[in-house]
Amino acid sequence: MKENYDIEMRLNVKIPMRDRVNLSADIYLPKGNGKFPTVLMRTPYSNNGDDTVEKARTLANHGYVCVAQDTRGRWDSDGYHYPFRDDGRDGFDTQEWIGKQEWSTGKIGMSGASYGGLVQWQSAPYRSRYLTCMVPRVICGDFFGGLIYPGGALQLNVALSWGMRTNGRTAQTIEYHNWTETFRTLPLTDMSLETGRDLDFWNDWIEHPTYDDYWKAIDIEGRWGEIAAPAFNMGGWFDLYAKDTFTNFNGLTEGGRNEAARQSKLIVGPWPHALSTSPKTGDIDFGDTSVVNLDGMEMRWFDYWLKGEQNGILDEPPLRLFIMGANLWRDENEWPLARTDWQKWHLHSNGNANSVRGNGYLAREDPGNEPADHFIYDPCFPVQTMGGANCCSPHIVPWGPYDQRSVEVRSDVLVYSSEPLDKDIEVTGPIKVVLYASTDGPDTDWTAKLVDVSASGYAMNLTDGILRARYRDSRTNPTLLSPNKIYRYEIDVGVTGNLFKKGHSIRIEISSSNFPRFDRNLNTGNATGKDAEMRQASQTVYHSSEYPSHIILPMVPEK
């Protein structure tokens, strides 16, 4: 088959949806006799962007028709833009239109990152007979827990800055705002007005702080059995959707509709939301081998599923993971890894784990009769976000690994560190903290962070999480706290793949804020987003034989 086709471009082709709204697509056709498989890219970020055009032309050169479409209400497409709502039906209708064209073989693959991955998952359960495979990058399937309200807390920075940038038909600048002040606006219902724009979807998100029918309508995590297209999932350890990338992979490989869907694949590197663009993420240079050709991997996937080329891609292990610290790639067969040794590491102190200067420590042995740790959480002075799995404006809130010592000197951050390790220890898998704690009010937040501390003292964040206390038992029916009562909390701290080297220490940070990545809990127990009253919270963290707070670490022995 010829591999360097000339290209015919058909621009601003109107594709009708079921409600008679026309969506605009630029179509790149290989010049040649016969029919071709199609790669569909749907985007709210303009189908005429340089990266999109370059990719579309590369695909056409390689013998694919590429259909690059503006999503509803964006750029040249008609209709009204409202995030997530119409993308399932619109994607299906577009696939049905493509499959009936004279140039189509009837096989469609989908490509795209972030929202370009969202549109793939949203359309897949509609099961167009033409949709054959997908390559979703950096996206979740559950938009309540994966994007807007992880752990029940509003993911403030992403929701507001991304929402402001994409509000309207074309790209909106967010560069000239005083974000330090904007993020502090109270109540949250006034925050979109502070940006100068009335974001209708922002108001709806605030109106729906629990997992209700609004979110269920766009959640695909309960619909794996309706998806028949295999997916090559791509993600990064420092992407906000790191955990969700594994969830999506497991969802299809374990519950996909057919054998094809269950042959999905995954790759995760040491990357932020912008995958594999540089060996350096945040402070850390992971080496040139950390940068790989994701487009080349994607092309092999398409060549197999859409052209039938026997290129061996399904003979390879389904997972490829970059192990930080060791800075190497490794193939695996399942997630979590079958050989994982799940270890409890307990929080200990003499009652003063406050800051890195305190006496908190982390160890395998069970706690005894130890005094609890205390701190005051004041939402007027929250702990500042210092890197992590953030998106999508690193000039506003940085993403990736950074030195956490500027955070760890605060008295409202409890720090628990292991002794320097006497050998290398690999931690690869999902991380969970079980915390026994109390507060003197009706609601608060609990945060946890896993940190790799080098012999020099550099404290590199790996992954973190948050839990809004009222959601400790249910994200559909939140319940407030009885003041000063001890509760058991399970904090999802995300996922990581990291080798703690000999001489390094494993560290856990516990606090009550991570701002402005997440909104501040005002500690009042009042309705989410509609409150401007703040109160300090007196926090107590227990680690005793009766209340053994601990972290569960997925230790991975050498093969």
Element (H, E) at 143: helix 143-143
Residue 204 is among the residues annotated as catalytic for this protein: no
CB atoms near residue 97 (< 10 Å) = 19
Nearest CA to 21 out of 87, 66, 119, 112 is that of 87
- Catalytic residue chosen out of the listed positions 70, 86, 239, 443: 239
Phi and psi at 294, nearest 5°, equal -65, -35
Q: Long-range contacts of range 175-183, CB-CB < 8 Å, 24 or more positions apart?
A: 179/396, 179/516, 183/156, 183/157, 183/515, 183/516
Nearest CA to 432 out of 354, 488, 386 is that of 488
Cα dihedral across residues 181, 187, 188, 189: positive or negative: negative
Residue 538 is among the residues annotated as catalytic for this protein: no
- Catalytic residue chosen out of the listed positions 114, 438, 505, 549: 114
- Catalytic residue chosen out of the listed positions 273, 348, 504, 550: 273
Length of the chain measured in residues: 559
End-to-end CA separation in angstroms for the chain: 41
CA-to-CA distance for 195 and 199, rounded, in angstroms? Answer: 9
Cα dihedral across residues 437, 440, 445, 450: positive or negative: negative
CB atoms near residue 414 (< 10 Å) = 28
Residue 492 is among the residues annotated as catalytic for this protein: no
- Side-chain-facing half-sphere of 267: CA atoms under 13 Å: 23
DSSP state of 400: B
Please give the single-letter amino acid code of residue 58.
T
Give the residue numbers annotated as catalytic, written as ranges: 114, 239, 273
